[in-house]
Structure 1
Amino acid sequence: MRDWRSLPTSKLTRAERNMKFCERYLRVPEGDLVGQPIKLADFQEAFFYAVYDNKVMTKRAILSMARKNSKTGTIAMIVLVHLVGPEAKQNSRIASGARSRKQAAEVYNYASKMAALSPDLRNRVRPVPSAKKLVGLAMNVEYDAVSAEGSTAHGGSYIVVVLDEVGQVKGPQDDFVDAMVTSQGAYSDGLLFVISTQAPTDADMMSILLDDAERAGDMATICHLYAAAPDCDLLDPKALAAANPALGLFRSKSDAEEQLQQAARMPSKEATARVLILNQRQNMVAALVAASVWKRGNVEPAPWDHSAIYGGLDLSATTDLTSLVLTQRQGGVLMVRAWFWMPEANIAIASKRDRTPYDVWVKKGLIRTTPGNVIDYAFVARDVGEICGDLPVPVKRLAFDRWRMDRLKVELAKIGVELPLEPFGQGFVSMSPAIDAIEEDLLKGQVHHGGNPPLAMCAANAVAVPDPAGNRKLDKSKSTGRIDGMVALTMARGVEAMFTDPEVNVDDWIASMRG
């Protein structure tokens, strides 16, 4: 950045001309400074420079920061730059997209007021409040504020799209976002902005966009992420500043500090504070395994040796995910391998329903399919038999949930496969010791799972609920998605503890599960 404000217009770059337009013509729409000229913050200037002075043509621009850092104001400025500013193109259309009609209206209201308060723009911008539309009269540019709750995204053709709060999208796919992005197909110079806080999990759309921008190294993609370090202390002032580039300007420092102090006193508020104030990836539902803890295990498990192998098998409903997890402890580290099955005819439906790329995982061989639209236990039985038969040592114990297990036993008997099946209850008494055991291994960094994507999804979704005595169990009804793989892993760790931990009374534990 440089001192562009003192330079004549002829010496300004494209980004600086856009910034000069904002500060010369736009007015603060509300608050204590209402009606005064806009003054860009440093982070906004940096974003303008990166987007508009890019050596290659920017196609996608991502800006992520904590709440209350003037995301709506930044979107409104971008809208007006392309509506009546230096970026306006004859007869073009631009749009901002939000999750709700209320949020879409916020952007419209902000941009409309910015123009209405400007003596130079009030007669150049025609608002259409009923349609949440602005028209830039000089170049006949139209702006639409659209929402996922409406249908106006379909059929439009927009040269510029600004997506607000993509971090609220659960899963990797969203029909509304897809409609907005594909609406730019008519333009070779279309520009997509994504301005949002982070999403809760790695599997959500905003996280995927950020991770892709980091890995790909694509010069046409600009990404500015303001976030606290994943393992930071909740009250670290550096963490607060890192996630809030407008701290002390648009964002009240005292208010943010007060909320963080409250979250430090009340653990139930910590996850929400980390997402909204520190802009961290944090599932606001109390997940069993923190994302940072799970990632420590993204190490390929060592090849099987002749140590004892334990397993867990979680059978699904007829149309859902079935999982087998086998574990082996080598040098104190739990080596984990997972297999998954789904009905072939349901893959596309389930991918859209759960907003999870099951179809991609099937193509990569991470999920096996059974024919038809319901899970075929004959195929599962055959595959489980082959997997266990190829091991260097027989499985010592294979834990299973009694639900639907009789059907699988029949199929195993048909093909002559005998496995050391161990019934494993899913209630508090049975699951709590197993959850404690796998949680301890994960926290100590003693689990190598290789980053298996379906298993990682299950771990991110898993929620442990307590009873009045403090025992815990995995609850699918409280989880944010499929958790079958984590249930199978927990059962595998549970039977390992049953038969190897000297502090565990095996007879009592087995009796409690069977009784």
Structure 2
Amino acid sequence: MKDSTRAIRFLESLGIPEGPKAGQAVKLAPFQKQFVKGALADGINVACLSIGRGNAKTALSAGIALGAVMGNWDRQPRRETLIAARTRDQARIAFDFMVGFIRSLPEDEQKAFTIRRSPRLEIEYEGDGGGHFVRAIAADGKTALGSAPTLVLMDERGHWQADQGDALEHALLSGLGKRGGRALIISTSAADDAHPFSVWMDDDQPGVYRQEHRPAPGLPADDLASLKIANPGAAYGIGSSLEWLQGQARRAIARGGSTLTSFRLYNRNERVSGETRDVLLTVDEWMACEADAMPPREGACVIGIDLGGSASMTAAAFYWPESGRLEALGTFPGKPGLQDRGQSDGVGDRYAQMRDRGELSTLGDKTVPVAAWLTKVMDHVAGEPIGALVMDRYKQAELSEAIDRAGIRAPLVWRGQGFRDGGEDAERFRRAVFDGRVRTSPSLLLRSAFADTVCLRDPANNIKIAKARSTGRIDAASATVLSVAEGIRQTARPRNKGGRILWA
């Protein structure tokens, strides 16, 4: 008999420990059986499940862990199962599910278990020769060093702290290799493609089973078909009902901001930032700017310039205030290459994807040559009237010299990046977005930049933009804010309709 068949029979012999159906026998939904079959298939040592919150992924994994420690399909002596989570309280959720399942077993089998909650969460199973343990640990790699588990459950891996989470994952996986163990990695989606859990889900690797319930991006939050994709348990009475999910979606849409972002991340299982700081724009606000049919290049173009250094990106944004058209280009130095730079910045192959889409290029060696780059920028809008070049006054000397060398003749506008100029520009940009005066084609460069852009506030409630993470590249967002804000200022100025009167 296959291990997965034994596991399914064992799981459906248990009783539901809590909720409206508490006390009833477990009945696995098709997506749960699919995961059990995939996770326990021959040759699989890591099984990953990404699904919306409330679809019993932790309960399912806890049932598998209980069956493993009892030896239903793994007959190794002295079996050890580790439940790892971001915090001890999070690990306790899976631990408590296991305890609830134990209480649904026949009384003679329950006697074989010893449950300890202090000094740490631990279950000892004395049947089948004894010496079998389940332990719950928090996301600290040092707690897992020296262990040799036969099964590891990593709960909500997509939301572990970066450094400690990676250290714990490495420690657990290296320990599994000692005894040919398996890992169950379960979570709602991580915030971006570069997160280690996203990499697990995206990369096809030998010995890894992947099951992801994630709808296509950009759909309305209350779209019923995509809610079913992210929450397959709803059709089988598992977790939240579809009516409740749609109601919550509409409430989130009405509130907007972090409420809508959190709903997309946790309930729709989308890869969007769960950043709760004051973001410049939420993902839905920015997605509203993207259009398949772009407005024409009409009127004068305002160019925003954000000059980077050797590590950061250099970016230009092109905005036509009369039509609302927005374009953006980014440039990195040639060394290191885009793949290596993406790995060091924690975004994987995102820079290479931007290059393939024509949104990002390389120029120069260790730094971007400013004069040559400005020439390339002006070539992008050759033949178009230029309303202004808008730049950060912090690098005024360097940019002025490069403008002279490139022979550029256009109005120059210098802006600060502090709370005074930066606050005005950010608010004008937001207002233009909310009024529907910014239209751009789908751009991975701009999506990535705005996902990393947050606002800092001073005691007087003035704002300026900043990075959400140290390796975030917000240069394209900074250039966009400069160009759009200046374009809005230009259109707001009264136009001279006639001649002047000279008083003698």
Query: 1:49: which partner in 2?
Result: 37
2:16 alignment counterpart: 28
Name 2:64's counterpart in structure 1. 78
What is residue 295 of structure 2 aligned with on the other side?
none
Distance 2:233 2:161 in 1: 27
Distance 1:192 1:442 in 2: 49
Cα separation, 1, equivalents of 2:27 and 2:148: 32
CA distance in 2, matches of 1:358, 1:202: 8
Asked whether 1:266 is paired with 2:252, we answer no
For 1:222-274, what per-residue CA distance to the aligned partner results, in whole angstroms no more than 9, with x for missing partners? 22222344333333443333222222523142544443343243224322222
Gaps of at least 5 residues in structure 2 are: 293-299, 497-504
Looking at structure 2, the residues matched to 168 and 141 of structure 1 have their Cα atoms a distance apart, in angstroms, of 29
Relative to structure 1, the CA distance from residue 66 to residue 390 in structure 2 (aligned partners, 3 Å threshold; closer, same or farther) is closer
Structure 2 partner of 1:197: 188
After TM superposition, the structure 1 = structure 2 runs for residues 335-346 of structure 1, keeping only pairs within 5 Å, are 336-340=328-332
Deviates more, 1:171-180 or 1:100-109: 171-180
TM-score, normalization: structure 2? Answer: 0.71
Secondary structure of the corresponding residue to residue 144 of structure 2: coil
Residue 146 (structure 1) aligns with: 137
Say if 2:475 is the partner of 1:485.
Answer: yes
Q: CA deviation at 1:111?
A: 1.0
Match of 2:177 in 1: 185
Structure 1 letter corresponding to 2:58 = T
Corresponding residue for 2:500? Answer: none
**C-alpha contact 1:234 1:274 (8 A) present in aligned 2:** yes
Q: Write out per-residue CA displacement over residues 146-181 of structure 1, whole angstroms, 9 at most, x where no aligned residue.
A: 111584123323332221112214669733333333
Quick one: structure 1 residues 91 and 479, their matched pair in 2 at CA, closer, same or farther if it must change by over 3 Å? closer
Residue type of the alignment partner of 1:430: D
CA distance in 1, matches of 2:475, 2:222: 35
CA contact (8 A) 1:309 1:326 kept: no
SS in 2 for 1:144: strand
Equivalent pairs, count: 454
TM-score relative to the length of structure 1: 0.70
Q: Secondary structure at the match of 2:239?
A: coil
Q: CA deviation at 1:483?
A: 5.0
Matches within 5 A, 1:19-418: 19-24=8-13, 26-53=14-41, 57-84=43-70, 85-119=72-106, 120-130=108-118, 131-137=120-126, 138=128, 140-148=131-139, 151-169=142-160, 174-187=166-179, 189-212=180-203, 216=204, 218=205, 220-247=207-234, 249-253=237-241, 255-268=244-257, 269-284=259-274, 285=276, 288=281, 290=283, 310-314=303-307, 322-327=312-317, 336-340=328-332, 356=346, 383-388=369-374, 393=379, 398-402=389-393, 404-405=394-395, 408=398
One-letter amino acid of the counterpart of residue 175, structure 1 = A
Equivalent runs, 1:458-473 vs 2, <5 Å:
458-463=449-454
Give the Cα separation in 2 of the matches to 1:262 and 1:204: 29
Contact 1:313 1:400 in 2 (8 A): yes
Q: 1:343 to 1:149 in 2, by over 3 A?
A: farther
Q: RMSD value over aligned CA atoms? A: 4.9
The whole-number CA distance in structure 2 between the counterparts of 1:165 and 1:144 is 17
TM-aligned CA distance change 1:112 to 1:370, over 3 Å:
farther
Alignment check: 8 A CA contact 1:314 1:484 kept = no
In 1, the alpha carbon distance for the partners of 2:60 and 2:154 equals: 12
CA distance in 2, matches of 1:358, 1:224: 21
Task: Write the distance in 2 (CA, Å) between the matches of 1:296 and 1:87.
Answer: 54
Deviations 1:128-153 (A, max 9, x none): 33232223332533322111158412
C-alpha distance after superposition, 1:494-513 (max 9, x if no partner): 488479x7x354999xxxxx
Question: 1:465/1:232 Cα in 2 relative to 1: closer, same or farther (>3 Å)?
Answer: farther
- Against the structure 1 CA distance between its residues 358 and 67, is the aligned structure 2 distance closer, same or farther, given a 3 Å change threshold? closer
Q: What residue identity is the alignment partner of 1:290? A: V
Q: Say whether residues 1:17 and 2:6 are aligned partners.
A: yes
Write the letter of the residue equivalent to 2:196: M
Secondary structure of residue in 2 paired with 1:76:
helix
Maintained 8 Å contact 1:293/1:442: no
Instruction: In structure 1, list runs of 5 or more residues that go unmatched.
Output: 1-11, 300-306, 372-378, 509-515
What is the alpha-carbon distance in structure 1 between the residues aligned to residue 69 and residue 332 of structure 2? Answer: 50
